[in-house]
Structure 1
Amino acid sequence: MKTKFFKFKFTKNTKATISLLFLMVFGSSFIMAQEKHSDEDLAKKLANPVANLISAPFQSNMDFGIGEHNGARHTINVQPVIPFKLTEDINLITRMVLPVVHQDNISGYGNSESGLGDMVLSGFFSPSKTKNGLIWGIGPAFLVPSATNHFLGTGKFGLGPTFVALKQQNAFTYGFLVNQIWSVAGDQARSDVNQFYFQPFATYNWKSGAGASAMMELTQNWMDNSTTIWFTPSISGVASLGKQKVQLSAGPRFNVAAPAAQKAKYGFRASVTFIFPK
């Protein structure tokens, strides 16, 4: 079996959506004055999901041996983070996850699907000042039915609460992110969405900007009472591409639990994050 991971078929609407996202993220960075930050400082901010830092992560997940047909999936998650200062005491941290997917032999033997998945938008209202290294944020999460293929999305619009809490102590960052989304509109022929997501994480950063981290991602589908768990350890480092600061990271993915039709034998994650310090 040959898997063509990079053969995406984009429609005009898909290209327009991605172009708009690039304009929003990279365009906003140019209107903000930049200051010098150490690599260690940037790495610690990137370990904080609600840091006051513009970033544009592109996360590549490659999973193999999925289901009974030994399928494969390549997902590129476009994940821009844009903070806004609402008051002297409160920041609004907006985060988006837009999957770009190609998969083979998952919906059926010999079948291939490519395109966008459903988008998740989150907004965290977070205090601008921390106490004893404790950081938190709370707000809404929205599920947007942006999938361009029936097999890549839910066909539903959903919403619910999201919360993040973490502590940064010396070189360590540890905490968790959680959300619960219920569908409220969309294609009536599709199944409703009632989904819980829990992501504990821990990171250790050296003064060089290098880091080692571990993350668990648990998704509980309450509609069919199924649980999916991924565990991803990784290493990372901050580097410069000319004047542009980036963080590079990579590590294996372990599918600890999943329904039989979706369980992968093994996977790999690599990401590049463009950093725009204010």
Structure 2
Amino acid sequence: MIIQKRWTTAIFTSSAISCVAFPAQAEDSAELAKKALNPVAAMYSLPVQYNWDQRIGPTENGMHSVTNIQPVLPITLNEDWNLISRTILPIIDQHGLAPNGAADKSGVGDITQSFFFSPKEPTESGWILGAGPALLIPTGSDELLSSEQWGLGPTAVALKQANGWTRGVLANHIWGLEGSPANDKEKINLTFLQPFLSYTNASFTTFGVNSESTYNWQSREWSVPVNVMVTQLLKLRGQPMTIQAGPRYWLDSAENGPQGWGFRVAVTLLFPK
């Protein structure tokens, strides 16, 4: 269940809480709004995303929160290609998952590091593409917050942006390079699928929905949360950013996984070139 939280990645979903007017250069703002929704845009950004879920564990009394720190770093390879580095560092807090507080822990989880090789220009039909390796790094501060194994696999993204709409899918698969039998940790074998759809209006407010589904090939179980988000693009003391909030609902989850409703809030600092 803890591993499933690591694939959460929220900069793709969106929509809105408007409180500050964005600058007058509407054309520049529109381009920035599109880049903020593009996971392989050539723009530095720093998303900080908080996720909260409930009804976890055999008694359904557990709660689990993850604050994902997700720096995005674009690297120019040549005239035609970019390399986009995306890191997810989870800070985990969980309580009530097991009797007598045996699983109550707070700390750092495992890092997921992805690299996308992405053409600078879309295809003739307007699709933006990226693909590369994804790496799981066992940086967890406690055995209950870590898979205690390295993982590796492919990742890819495809999206199209037109007339205010952003639609696409991000996917990866990670195989554990080794299990952790001493701590009864099964070898990782996870597929992650994130289809997303959003619409951005004239005030740069984005309304979006996505699913961040994980299939565990070892246990043959799905985890399927659906997020409905509102994101607002704004400028605070000259710093472009997005603010995001919305509920999530678990359509399906692994044994002892989250159930019912949760929520997400996020702030993303944008650093356009």
TM-score > 0.5 by shorter chain: yes
2:150 alignment partner, one of 140, 144, 157: 157
Identify which range, 156-165 or 64-73, moves more after superposition: 64-73
Q: Structure 2: how far apart are the matches of 1:263 and 1:84?
A: 37
Secondary structure at 1:38 match in 2: helix
- How far residue 42 of structure 1 moved from its aligned partner, in angstroms, is 1.6
Letter in 1 for 2:94: Q
- How far residue 211 of structure 1 moved from its aligned partner, in angstroms, is 0.5
Q: Structure 2: how far apart are the matches of 1:118 and 1:58?
A: 16
Q: CA 1:186/1:241 → structure 2, altered by over 3 Å: closer, same or farther? A: farther
Between the two structures, name the one with larger relative contact order (CA 8 Å, sep ≥ 6).
2
Q: Structure 2: how far apart are the matches of 1:108 and 1:146?
A: 26
Deviation string, structure 1 residues 154-195 (Cα, Å, up to 9, x no partner)? 001010000101111121110000101001146443321111
- Whether contact under 8 Å (2:229, 2:246) holds in the other structure is yes
Q: Structure 1: how far apart are the matches of 2:45 and 2:126?
A: 22
- How far residue 62 of structure 1 moved from its aligned partner, in angstroms, is 1.1
- Whether contact under 8 Å (2:153, 2:175) holds in the other structure is yes
- How far residue 107 of structure 1 moved from its aligned partner, in angstroms, is 3.8
Q: TM-score, normalised by structure 2?
A: 0.85
- Whether contact under 8 Å (2:54, 2:63) holds in the other structure is yes
Counterpart in the other structure of 2:172: 179
- Whether contact under 8 Å (1:42, 1:209) holds in the other structure is no
Residues 1:240 and 2:240 are matched in the alignment? no
Which sections of structure 1, spanning at least 5 residues, go unmatched? 1-34
Q: Structure 1: how far apart are the matches of 2:135 and 2:129?
A: 19
- How far residue 110 of structure 1 moved from its aligned partner, in angstroms, is 2.6
Identity %: 39
Counterpart in the other structure of 1:274: 269
Identify which range, 170-179 or 64-73, moves more after superposition: 64-73
Secondary structure at 2:177 match in 1: strand
Secondary structure at 2:150 match in 1: strand
Deviation string, structure 1 residues 108-156 (Cα, Å, up to 9, x no partner)? 4434100011111000001001133210101000000011111111001
- How far residue 69 of structure 1 moved from its aligned partner, in angstroms, is 3.9
Counterpart in the other structure of 1:46: 36
Letter in 1 for 2:268: T
1:81-96 correspondence runs (5 A): 81-96=72-87
Counterpart in the other structure of 1:5: none
Q: Structure 2: how far apart are the matches of 1:211 and 1:36?
A: 15
Structural RMSD (CA)? 1.7
Q: Structure 2: how far apart are the matches of 1:183 and 1:257?
A: 24
1:140-151 correspondence runs (5 A): 140-151=133-144
2:116 alignment partner, one of 113, 124, 140: 124
Counterpart in the other structure of 2:47: 57
- Whether contact under 8 Å (1:39, 1:208) holds in the other structure is no
Deviation string, structure 1 residues 61-84 (Cα, Å, up to 9, x no partner)? 011222324111111011111101
Counterpart in the other structure of 1:100: 91
Q: Structure 2: how far apart are the matches of 1:202 and 1:248?
A: 18
Letter in 2 for 1:196: T
Counterpart in the other structure of 1:7: none
Identify which range, 113-122 or 59-68, moves more after superposition: 59-68
Deviation string, structure 1 residues 68-105 (Cα, Å, up to 9, x no partner)? 24111111011111101101001001101111011101
Q: CA 1:108/1:91 → structure 2, altered by over 3 Å: closer, same or farther? A: farther
Secondary structure at 1:219 match in 2: strand
Identify which range, 85-94 or 182-191, moves more after superposition: 182-191
Counterpart in the other structure of 1:23: none
Counterpart in the other structure of 2:218: 223
Identify which range, 153-162 or 255-264, moves more after superposition: 255-264
Counterpart in the other structure of 2:65: 74
- How far residue 41 of structure 1 moved from its aligned partner, in angstroms, is 1.8
Residues 1:254 and 2:249 are matched in the alignment? yes
Letter in 1 for 2:156: F
